[in-house]
Amino acid sequence: MRNSTVVCVRWKLTGRLEVFVNLGKLYSKYSDSELGVSRWTLHKKSLEKSWQNDTVEIIKLPIF
């Protein structure tokens, strides 16, 4: 049974990986321009399949 999810961000230039508990926490640290995508756009996408641009790759993963 799935309890929760996390949002993982991989920065393509450096390879750094960051984990956030939700999109709100992600956007409290980074702006739309830093990520290259708006919060509204990501909210509408299925992040289980991942989303990426030239700057970042973002995926939502379950935590068991």
The whole-number mean pLDDT for each consecutive block of 10 residues of the chain, a chain of 64 residues, reads 82 96 95 94 88 94 86
- pLDDT for position 30: 97
C-alpha to C-alpha distance for 2 and 11, rounded to whole angstroms: 27
Q: Which pTM value belongs to this model?
A: 0.85
Range of the domain at 38: 4-63
Domain count, the chain: 1
Residues 6+ apart with CB under 8 A from 15: none
CB 44 within 8 A of CB 2: no
Residue 45 corresponds to which amino acid? K
Number of neighbours of residue 2 by Cβ within 10 angstroms: 7
Q: Could you give the CA distance from residue 46 to residue 48 in angstroms, rounded to a whole number?
A: 5
- What backbone phi and psi angles, to 5 degrees, belong to 20? -130, 150
